Amino acid sequence: MNPRLAETNSADDGGEPDGFETWTALQKATDQTRANLIADIVGHPQGAPSVRELEYMNPALGEDAIRRHLGVLRDVGVVVELVVEPGDRVRGYPYKFYQLTPQARALFDRNDLFPADAWQRQYARVEKTGEIAELEEMPRPE
Protein backbone atom coordinates (compact mmCIF):
# COMPACT_ATOMS: atom_id res chain seq x y z
CA MET A 1 0.00 0.00 0.00
CA ASN A 2 1.30 3.44 -0.90
CA PRO A 3 1.62 5.40 2.37
CA ARG A 4 0.83 8.73 0.72
CA LEU A 5 -2.26 7.21 -0.85
CA ALA A 6 -3.33 5.72 2.46
CA GLU A 7 -3.34 9.19 3.97
CA THR A 8 -5.98 10.26 1.46
CA ASN A 9 -8.52 7.78 2.76
CA SER A 10 -10.71 8.88 5.62
CA ALA A 11 -13.04 5.90 5.62
CA ASP A 12 -12.64 2.15 5.31
CA ASP A 13 -14.29 2.21 1.88
CA GLY A 14 -11.63 4.56 0.46
CA GLY A 15 -13.96 7.52 0.49
CA GLU A 16 -13.41 11.04 1.71
CA PRO A 17 -15.89 13.18 3.63
CA ASP A 18 -17.06 14.91 0.43
CA GLY A 19 -17.95 11.56 -1.19
CA PHE A 20 -14.87 11.37 -3.44
CA GLU A 21 -13.73 7.74 -3.51
CA THR A 22 -9.96 7.70 -3.91
CA TRP A 23 -9.59 4.06 -4.96
CA THR A 24 -12.40 4.18 -7.49
CA ALA A 25 -11.07 7.42 -8.95
CA LEU A 26 -7.58 5.95 -9.31
CA GLN A 27 -8.91 2.75 -10.84
CA LYS A 28 -10.93 4.61 -13.46
CA ALA A 29 -8.26 7.25 -14.11
CA THR A 30 -5.47 4.76 -14.75
CA ASP A 31 -7.23 2.97 -17.61
CA GLN A 32 -4.93 3.74 -20.56
CA THR A 33 -7.52 5.54 -22.70
CA ARG A 34 -8.87 7.59 -19.80
CA ALA A 35 -5.32 8.36 -18.62
CA ASN A 36 -4.58 9.75 -22.09
CA LEU A 37 -7.68 11.94 -21.89
CA ILE A 38 -6.70 13.16 -18.42
CA ALA A 39 -3.20 13.98 -19.67
CA ASP A 40 -4.76 16.06 -22.46
CA ILE A 41 -7.04 17.84 -19.99
CA VAL A 42 -4.06 18.62 -17.75
CA GLY A 43 -1.96 19.69 -20.74
CA HIS A 44 -4.61 21.91 -22.32
CA PRO A 45 -3.68 25.63 -22.14
CA GLN A 46 -6.86 26.40 -20.20
CA GLY A 47 -7.13 23.03 -18.44
CA ALA A 48 -10.59 22.51 -19.93
CA PRO A 49 -10.75 21.13 -23.48
CA SER A 50 -13.87 20.37 -25.48
CA VAL A 51 -14.63 16.94 -26.91
CA ARG A 52 -13.56 18.26 -30.33
CA GLU A 53 -10.13 19.18 -28.95
CA LEU A 54 -9.80 15.83 -27.19
CA GLU A 55 -10.72 14.04 -30.41
CA TYR A 56 -8.01 15.97 -32.27
CA MET A 57 -5.46 14.83 -29.68
CA ASN A 58 -6.80 11.24 -29.74
CA PRO A 59 -7.65 10.55 -33.39
CA ALA A 60 -8.12 6.81 -32.84
CA LEU A 61 -11.13 7.55 -30.62
CA GLY A 62 -14.41 8.88 -31.88
CA GLU A 63 -16.48 11.54 -30.15
CA ASP A 64 -18.85 8.90 -28.74
CA ALA A 65 -16.00 6.94 -27.14
CA ILE A 66 -14.51 10.13 -25.70
CA ARG A 67 -17.88 11.16 -24.26
CA ARG A 68 -18.33 7.68 -22.77
CA HIS A 69 -14.89 7.81 -21.08
CA LEU A 70 -15.50 11.37 -19.86
CA GLY A 71 -18.82 10.16 -18.43
CA VAL A 72 -17.00 7.47 -16.43
CA LEU A 73 -14.51 10.05 -15.15
CA ARG A 74 -17.33 12.47 -14.31
CA ASP A 75 -19.27 9.77 -12.45
CA VAL A 76 -16.31 9.06 -10.14
CA GLY A 77 -15.53 12.74 -9.54
CA VAL A 78 -12.34 13.01 -11.59
CA VAL A 79 -13.66 15.54 -14.11
CA VAL A 80 -16.39 18.12 -14.09
CA GLU A 81 -18.31 19.33 -17.12
CA LEU A 82 -18.33 23.10 -17.65
CA VAL A 83 -21.34 24.20 -19.69
CA VAL A 84 -21.79 27.52 -21.49
CA GLU A 85 -25.21 28.97 -20.68
CA PRO A 86 -27.68 28.74 -23.61
CA GLY A 87 -27.78 32.53 -24.14
CA ASP A 88 -23.98 32.70 -24.31
CA ARG A 89 -23.42 29.89 -26.83
CA VAL A 90 -21.97 30.57 -30.26
CA ARG A 91 -23.39 28.51 -33.11
CA GLY A 92 -20.94 25.93 -34.41
CA TYR A 93 -18.70 26.09 -31.34
CA PRO A 94 -18.54 23.69 -28.41
CA TYR A 95 -20.45 24.58 -25.28
CA LYS A 96 -19.17 21.81 -23.00
CA PHE A 97 -15.65 21.63 -21.63
CA TYR A 98 -14.01 19.22 -19.19
CA GLN A 99 -11.60 19.93 -16.35
CA LEU A 100 -10.22 18.03 -13.37
CA THR A 101 -12.04 18.38 -10.09
CA PRO A 102 -10.04 19.85 -7.20
CA GLN A 103 -10.22 16.44 -5.46
CA ALA A 104 -8.74 14.65 -8.47
CA ARG A 105 -5.99 17.25 -8.92
CA ALA A 106 -5.07 16.91 -5.23
CA LEU A 107 -5.07 13.10 -5.46
CA PHE A 108 -2.89 13.15 -8.57
CA ASP A 109 -0.51 15.68 -7.01
CA ARG A 110 -0.15 13.57 -3.84
CA ASN A 111 0.75 10.56 -5.97
CA ASP A 112 2.91 12.24 -8.61
CA LEU A 113 0.42 11.52 -11.40
CA PHE A 114 -0.27 13.81 -14.35
CA PRO A 115 2.23 16.59 -13.52
CA ALA A 116 0.86 19.74 -15.11
CA ASP A 117 4.18 21.18 -16.30
CA ALA A 118 5.18 18.04 -18.17
CA TRP A 119 1.81 17.53 -19.83
CA GLN A 120 1.50 21.20 -20.78
CA ARG A 121 4.89 21.03 -22.52
CA GLN A 122 3.84 17.84 -24.31
CA TYR A 123 0.48 19.30 -25.37
CA ALA A 124 2.14 22.48 -26.66
CA ARG A 125 4.42 20.43 -28.93
CA VAL A 126 1.49 19.04 -30.93
CA GLU A 127 0.89 20.95 -34.15
CA LYS A 128 -2.67 22.30 -34.16
CA THR A 129 -4.96 23.18 -37.02
CA GLY A 130 -6.38 26.71 -37.18
CA GLU A 131 -9.71 25.41 -35.87
CA ILE A 132 -8.11 23.71 -32.86
CA ALA A 133 -5.96 26.77 -32.10
CA GLU A 134 -9.12 28.89 -32.18
CA LEU A 135 -10.96 26.47 -29.89
CA GLU A 136 -8.07 26.53 -27.41
CA GLU A 137 -8.46 30.30 -27.08
CA MET A 138 -12.22 30.26 -26.47
CA PRO A 139 -13.25 31.45 -23.02
CA ARG A 140 -14.40 28.69 -20.67
CA PRO A 141 -17.32 29.00 -18.27
CA GLU A 142 -16.46 29.32 -14.58
Q: How confident is the model at residue 19 (pLDDT cuts 50, 70, 90)?
A: confident
Closest CA to 24 of 104, 82, 102, 113: 104
Residue 15 pLDDT greater than 90, yes or no: no
Which of 6 and 127 is assigned the larger pLDDT?
Answer: 127
What is this structure's pTM?
0.86
112-141 confidence digits (pLDDT tens):
999 999 999 999 999 999 999 999 999 999
Domains of the chain: 22-135 (1.10.10.10)
Residue 134 neighbours by CB under 8 Å, 6+ apart: none
